[in-house]
Amino acid sequence: MSLDALILTSLRAAGDGAVSGAQLSQELGVTRAAIWARIEDLRSLGYDIEASPHRGYRLLNAPDVLHADDLISRLGATQVIGRDIRVFQETTSTNDVIEKLARDGVKEGAVVFAESQTKGRGRLGRGWMSPAKRGLWFSVLLRPDLRPQEATRLTVASATALRRAIELQTGLKPEIKWPNDILIGGSKVAGILTELSAELDRVKYLILGIGVNVNLNPGDFPAELRKLATSLKAELGQPVSRPELAVAILRELDHDYARIDPGQFAALADEWEEHGATIGREVVIRTGDRQIRGRAESLGEDGELLLRTVHGHLERITGGDVALEK
């Protein structure tokens, strides 16, 4: 961890109490002047840190910005995800950035956030609106030992984790629309874009691109999206702390990444189905120029959607656009 992350970890551990400069200096093995310089820097980023000559330093408030050191400090120990976190003020797409890191051999679990994206990507070559500091736009690099056709399991795991993190942080009850949308009251509040680089029988790396509409106002959405999309702030009536939500999502992702294992996937799929807006519903699936109508029965063993068509066949659906009927 960096010095900033270590200082923030100590201040948070002290809770309402304070930590003296002498104590920080000793714990972290740097001079008190170095501590003071870092505290000044954190303050300039918006961290409200009280410095009292008698008691020491106290963290009163953290700003709603994404600061890599702070995210690492808040996240604490994880199995895989989030040991390497990078934050960009602006990128084309965080998936592009992390793909470059992937090719450079960066370890799995690396996470790239951007305060804004100029070319945010949605599924099937579509765009994703990512206004500055209103949402969470980030990508996670994974190197699972999977065949490409098993990769749908990761969309199931990430949707489950994302849904649970939102519920934990906000108390809202999001639903999952297969394969990758998180809905509240039928409107999209978050989405996942899974991209992979593979040989025919081996995933080389996989990227989860996640977008969460956190504090967007209705006016932030273009007119054509206003009925289809929503934000956590709009649903809750008050803003949500983006760094807290970010950390909650990474923690749940780390937890569910371990559950894509064949032995544990059934329980994960059950949780998905319990909160799914798709299973048991009549749906229309558009994939390429094909359209399939039927009843969504369940998730298959690799996370594909099993659809009972009007002709009684069971179709394994691995992609496409799902429209829910009534």
Q: Which residues bind a copy of itself (CB under 8 A)?
A: 123-124, 145, 147-149, 151-152, 155, 179, 193-202, 204, 287-288, 318-320
Give the integer Cα–Cα distance in Å for 43 and 274.
Answer: 44
Name the residue among 151, 119, 113 with its Cα closest to residue 135: 113
CB of 218 to a copy of itself, least distance (A): 30
Is the CB of 194 or the CB of 230 nearer to a copy of itself? Answer: 194
CB of 120 to a copy of itself, least distance (A): 15
Task: Report residue 279 as tokens.
Answer: 């299973």
Residues 82/161, Cβ–Cβ less than 8 Å: no
How far is the CA of 244 from the CAs of 72, 74, 241, 286, 324, in angstroms?
Answer: 11, 8, 5, 37, 32
243 upstream amide cis, omega within 30 of 0: no
CB of 103 to a copy of itself, least distance (A): 8
Is the CB of 55 or the CB of 316 nearer to a copy of itself? Answer: 316
CB of 99 to a copy of itself, least distance (A): 8
Name the residue among 156, 195, 162 with its Cα closest to residue 179: 156
CB of 239 to a copy of itself, least distance (A): 32
Measured in degrees and rounded to the nearest 5, phi and psi for residue 148 equal -55, -40
